[in-house]
Chain A
């Protein structure tokens, strides 16, 4: 992983509630490089989900910048190399950032196949037949091709989350954001979802993963961020974080979860 290919650059990001009384994010800066798997860990309420959800502006930050391909997506407009001013269209940037939610958020009134082809057909104007073919290829990859015409309610949690992942992949994103993807799953279904994510990481996808699965962080993560009280307290390779944690808060956290 090179250091100059910053895909996402977060600069001094803050998110305050109640006029600054509560700081969900407190002056956070971090770079995400292309091809990197960044795992964010930390206790509940530490701001890790807020950070992830800010990356595609699901949350509006109070202060700071987020650069995606060197464009500050928190601002209303940007100036290109030629000095021309453009409006920032967040929908365009979101197309390139896939997101997977804790509660799957599949569209219950549409079949699995319809769930997958909706955005490519409506947003990217992909021909329906082509989108269907593409969806079937992805469904085969996650072993759910036979459920294409089922409705989400007919699937198990693990299956729903695998569908949610491939639905995001249909848009061919440059980065995938995972917001506690296995937290709402029965323990026996966690493995199948992590397996898909591992495969994705090995295929070179840039990923930001908020999770409580320390095993996943250790095995798949290129870099681990530890957050608490809206700040990144420590970051490093999984070996550094889990092998020789320096911050007392991290040592305390790891002693409780490992």
Chain B
């Protein structure tokens, strides 16, 4: 094992530069689509979890309009189906491995239930593998982003909501102009972390044959009987993707905290 990392090994690896380039591009596309799906899903789930929809509210009140003394009826009257659905989704997705989720989405949902149109994006992204991968990753990160966004919204002082509502602003206007801008500023470090996790976790899609960076690595390894060199190249590439991402978000974080400093 005196020469387990050799210049020759790197030279062989770089012969497949085209494959690696395609892998990098696929990884980036996976991450971008996942982030978009995850973020939209996350906001939607967070809003769902914070709704105040109680269709059985009437059960808590007796005929005279007063609140009943029956604790069971009062507990049922507080049931919020929208929030329950979102909470159940989040808890299930967070409590199962992403590998299992990807395989279920690929083999189960898109393998049996939904027929995917077969086409090729940008010359080499095969839709029947790329779309299940993106959907599974997006659904998974949506659950995590939901919790991040929810904690961000709940971290905003209630006085902000009261001030905006006292000026006649609607719930939606208050959320969009007052609560979300401050919440997103507070949770940017957590979001940056989640984005970096998404880039790295996208490597797991090679198990369903998405030709991302890890897929390229395995291909090069298999063709040349070399192990370490392709892995080191992948390490460098992943680092070059993730490190700037967190730095860029840190820059926005500084810009958005203008109102925090004297």
The winner among A97, A107, A154 for most chain B CB atoms within 10 A is A107
Contact of B169 among A58, A110, A122, A152 (CB under 8 A): A122
A119–B162 CB distance below 8 A: no
Asked if B159 is an interface residue, CB under 8 A from chain A, the answer is yes
| Interface set, chain B 132-185, CB cutoff 8 A to A | 157, 159-160, 162-170, 173, 177-178, 181-182, 185
A109–B166 CB distance below 8 A: no
Contact of A151 among B160, B162, B178, B258 (CB under 8 A): B258
Q: Closest residue to A95 on the B side, CB-wise?
A: B168
Residues of B within 8 A of A19 (CB): 67, 69
Stretch from A4-12, A98-106, A197-205, A207-215 at the B interface: A98-106
A154–B262 CB distance below 8 A: yes
A153–B262 CB distance below 8 A: yes
Contact of B160 among A58, A105, A111, A153 (CB under 8 A): A105
A119–B168 CB distance below 8 A: yes
A151–B159 CB distance below 8 A: no
Expressed in whole angstroms, the minimum distance between the Cβ of A57 and any Cβ of chain B is 9
Count of B interface residues, CB-CB < 8 Å: 26
Contact of B168 among A94, A154, A164 (CB under 8 A): A94
A108–B166 CB distance below 8 A: no
B260–A108 CB distance below 8 A: yes
Asked if A168 is an interface residue, CB under 8 A from chain B, the answer is yes
A91–B160 CB distance below 8 A: no
Q: Closest residue to A103 on the B side, CB-wise?
A: B159
Asked if B254 is an interface residue, CB under 8 A from chain A, the answer is no
A152–B166 CB distance below 8 A: no
Asked if A1 is an interface residue, CB under 8 A from chain B, the answer is no
Asked if B261 is an interface residue, CB under 8 A from chain A, the answer is yes
Residues of B within 8 A of A152 (CB): 259
Q: Closest residue to B257 on the A side, CB-wise?
A: A109
| Interface set, chain A 51-65, CB cutoff 8 A to B | 56, 58
Alpha-carbon distance A243/B259, docked complex (angstroms): 48
Asked if A15 is an interface residue, CB under 8 A from chain B, the answer is no
Residues of B within 8 A of A95 (CB): 167-168
A94–B259 CB distance below 8 A: no
Alpha-carbon distance A19/B67, docked complex (angstroms): 8
A58–B185 CB distance below 8 A: no
Residues of B within 8 A of A164 (CB): 163
Q: Which 10 residue pairs of A and B lie closest in terms of their CB atoms, listed nearest first?
A: A95-B168, A105-B163, A119-B167, A99-B166, A105-B159, A151-B259, A94-B168, A123-B168, A108-B259, A109-B259
Task: List B residues at the A interface (Cβ < 8 Å).
Answer: 67, 69, 157, 159-160, 162-170, 173, 177-178, 181-182, 185, 256, 258-262
27 residue pairs bridging A and B, Cβ less than 8 Å apart: A19-B67, A58-B162, A58-B165, A91-B170, A95-B167, A99-B162, A99-B166, A101-B159, A101-B162, A103-B159, A105-B157, A105-B163, A108-B259, A108-B260, A109-B181, A109-B182, A109-B185, A109-B256, A109-B259, A110-B259, A111-B259, A119-B167, A122-B173, A123-B169, A123-B173, A151-B259, A153-B262
In addition to A111-B259, A168-B167, 11 A-B residue pairs with Cβ atoms within 8 Å of each other are A58-B162, A91-B169, A95-B168, A97-B166, A101-B162, A105-B157, A107-B182, A119-B168, A152-B259, A168-B166, A171-B168
Task: List A residues at the B interface (Cβ < 8 Å).
Answer: 19, 56, 58, 91-92, 94-95, 97-99, 101, 103, 105-111, 118-119, 122-123, 151-154, 164, 167-168, 171
